A and B are shown apart, each in its own frame.
Chain A
């Protein structure tokens, strides 16, 4: 079974801090994704990556950046955290960019910015 592991279940940070959210998958998937989930808004795609060192903007990239130095690891970075970035963050992976395979999700990181 594919396992997607997010480094923290809960995280509390202060406004202006630089925040790193880490995600690791163990099945050699090419694609990795970062979403945020807010009540009433569903999942919104922040960034995704089809390969090492590649990244594509999703629907709401402002205030975020990503890093993919190794195939199994995809990091989300909040350059200067703000209170409106308090949310649940979900990482996902899927096999390749050229197939319609389903995504596999981590359990999420609930981030609070004070």
Chain B
């Protein structure tokens, strides 16, 4: 079945550092890919998405490119802020039995120090 693998955390950075969180996937067909963010005490919220190969999703300075050849969707940000401290989930939505089933990675905790 479908699966998502993302780097284990926590990732600890200083403010204004460059961020990369790796995400790779296994899926049949052509899934859509998502990054969600979970701030402390809250549910997940959509950060960005990409629906086909070579699409780039972007939001709030974060970017990720759908790479079908490497089955990857790495999250990047050029300059992180303390307010970016959260848990980040990579996810895909793949077709199974005629319906779209979501699959999530285990999450990567990001801690940004001033």
Contact = CB atoms under 8 A, between A and B. Distances in A.
A102 B37 CA distance: 13
Given A50-B99, A98-B99, A100-B32, A107 B43 contact: yes
Contacts, number: 53
Contacts of A101: 93
Contacts of B100: 94, 97-100
A11 to B, nearest CB: 15
B49 A102 contact: yes
A4 interface: yes
Contact of A102 (B42, B46, B99): B46
Contacts of B49: 102
Contacts of A99: 100
A105 B43 contact: yes
B43 A90 contact: yes
B106 A100 contact: no
B43 A108 contact: yes
B102 A103 contact: yes
B66 interface: no
A43 interface: yes
Interface string A37-67: 0001111010000100000000000000000
B93 A40 contact: no
Contact of B105 (A42, A45, A102): A42
Interface of A: 4, 33, 40-43, 45, 50, 90, 92, 94, 97-108
Interface of B: 31-32, 34, 36, 41-46, 49, 51, 89, 93, 98-100, 102, 104-107
12 contacts: A40-B106, A42-B107, A43-B107, A92-B43, A100-B51, A101-B93, A102-B36, A102-B46, A103-B102, A105-B44, A108-B42, A108-B43
Give me the 3 closest cross-chain CB pairs, A-B, nearest first: A105-B43, A42-B106, A100-B32
